[in-house]
Structure 1
Amino acid sequence: MIILEKQLQDECAEVEEAGKDQTEAANNAMDDAPPPAYSTHVQHTSSSGSTEFQPPSKPTNFLSLVLKDKPIRGCYVIDPRMEIPLNLLPPLNTGETDQERKNLFLRTKDGSIDADIWLVGQEEATPRSGRRTTLSLSSDDGSITAKINTVKVIAPFLLDIYSRDGRVTVLLPRSFHGSLLLTTRQSTKLSDDLMQQSTMLSTVEHTRRYFVGDTGDVSHRLFGNDWNGDELKVVSRDGRIIIRYKDEAELPKFGFFSRIFSS
């Protein structure tokens, strides 16, 4: 299923402008308040401050957009509970099974990706099924920016990003609770707020691993021997990686000395 990108961009801009005044107070309160107790905050809640806030367009599921020499820019609303008839679904990727099908798959060979992603949930939390929402973004030659918005209560998600030669910027919701696996030969930067919520787990050659949230809750979120909560995986061979909360101010650009002393 393909969504017209120009139409989505216009709708996103209109909705975000209309909701800006309504959500500003809630976001400011969120910044001043201490983080929630992750051991009891099992699933995401809407970051808009209102359960009545609506996504900018009609949701879809198992959306696949593959381009060769063009950038991908748009707003993509994903409802992982939505059932799509098999005959309308795109072909599976090589080695992929129906159970592994991505809820969102964006792929371009020579171009950048700028994705405003909305994950739609439901009014109340329900027992988790063991299946996460899976999002995959990749570009061989281009930068990638991914912003994650949540509507209502959503299940945990896995965001997998690959950019061979470009910078990767990820804007996470405050409710993110899980693992960061970041691989690059260049610098990696986490915002101050995100660092305060993160525990450094390991650094092996060009790969850094962090855990965001209360590490004491890990045993409650295991599926078999694997972590089944939120997870962000980023691989950028020759690009910098920047991770921050979506309601934080933009991080300063990398200069000569910041490249030397950056964590």
Structure 2
Amino acid sequence: MTATTPPARIPALSRNRNRQAVAPFSAAPVNGLSLYTKREDITGSWTIDPLAPLFPEQNLVQMFLDGQSKKKCRRARSSKTAPLSATFSSRHGSIQAALRVLGDSLDRSIATIRAESRKGNVVLNLVSITPMRTVHIDAYSRKGSVTLLVPRTFSGLVQLSSRHGAVEVLPSLAASGRVIRTKNKEITVLLGEGPMPVVGSDSITDTARIYSRHGPVRLGFSGEDRLPERPKLMEHCMQFVHRLMAPSSTKSLPQYQ
């Protein structure tokens, strides 16, 4: 299902609503965006401007450095008292959102973005972040892949983890990011030219946590890194037919790559 957003808060989506066209980006900045589907995909582009500073209940930098469990982190980020700038949620559908975080005020404010799906893939493309804006991102899928693309102005910590899938830092970002922590299938990457964030700097440090139980997770730069494409179904079928039609002498030859 495709969703578009007027400046006001968006109610939960129903699968019975008609499909709507999506503009390149929302005409006006939105805040408190909330989109939910059961089976349909969520696809669109939105401009987000947090209207007021957001202060998490727990210090995010300390949570990264201490290596607290993902379940504890999710509960801390899911506080009912903490307003969210954008929420995308689907039970069975995929989520693909392009986002810009903008604002004209001189006071620093935080955009908190959450995306989660039980069975679908999640792709968040954070195109830009203006000065005096900070982002906190939490993206999760139970069975699908999770991909986060950030601009080079992103300055802070990103944690990638997957219980049963691959963890991948895409080439452009890998060339400039600094890995500061590795544990099993969990990687914490520091982005930006600044020093290591210190405890108590949540209001000025970008943070992101992307994780999946059974799918791969990927991190890259927006507009630079490309996602690996899966072979098309027809290509798989053709390869299978060629193998069946190949002479027996050819089948016995060793394969080299």
> TM above 0.5, one fold?
yes
* Equivalent AA in structure 2 for residue 57 of structure 1: A
Corresponding residue for residue 2 of structure 1: 10
Corresponding residue for residue 241 of structure 1: 217
* Equivalent AA in structure 2 for residue 223 of structure 1: G
**Cα 1:82–1:58 shift into 2, 3 Å:** farther
Task: Show structure 1 runs of 5+ residues with no match.
Answer: 13-54, 84-93, 256-263
Query: Quick check: 1:6–1:74 contact (8 Å CA) kept in 2?
Result: no
Report whether the alignment pairs 1:134 with 2:104. Answer: no
Query: Quick check: 1:143–1:168 contact (8 Å CA) kept in 2?
Result: yes
* Equivalent AA in structure 2 for residue 107 of structure 1: S
How far is the alpha carbon of 1:112 from its aligned partner? 0.4
How far is the alpha carbon of 1:148 from its aligned partner? 0.9
Report whether the alignment pairs 1:111 with 2:81. Answer: no
Aligned residues: 194
Corresponding residue for residue 56 of structure 2: none
How far is the alpha carbon of 1:251 from its aligned partner? 4.0
| Paired residues for 1:36-185 under 5 Å | 56-81=26-51, 96-98=79-81, 100-122=82-104, 126=106, 128=108, 132-150=110-128, 152-184=130-162, 185=164
How far is the alpha carbon of 1:73 from its aligned partner? 1.1
Q: Which of 170, 179, 189 is the equivalent residue of 1:210? A: 189
* Equivalent AA in structure 2 for residue 165 of structure 1: K
> For the aligned residues, what is the CA RMSD?
2.9
Distance, in Å, in 2 between the alignment partners of 1:67 and 1:234 is 20
**Cα 1:148–1:8 shift into 2, 3 Å:** farther
Query: Quick check: 1:112–1:143 contact (8 Å CA) kept in 2?
Result: yes
Task: Show structure 2 runs of 5+ residues with no match.
Answer: 1-8, 54-76, 232-257
Distance, in Å, in 2 between the alignment partners of 1:65 and 1:96 is 18
Distance, in Å, in 1 between the alignment partners of 2:134 and 2:182 is 25
TM-score (norm 2): 0.66
Whichever of the two has the greater Rg, that structure is 2
SS of aligned partner of 1:218 = coil
**Cα 1:253–1:59 shift into 2, 3 Å:** same
Cα deviation, 1:172-225, whole Å, max 9, x if unaligned, reads 111011111111121122122211221111222221111112352523xx426x
SS of aligned partner of 1:57 = coil
For CA contacts below 8 A with separation 6 or more, give which structure has more relative contact order. 1
Give 1 or 2: higher helix fraction: 1
TM-score (norm 1): 0.65
Corresponding residue for residue 206 of structure 2: 230
How far is the alpha carbon of 1:149 from its aligned partner? 2.3
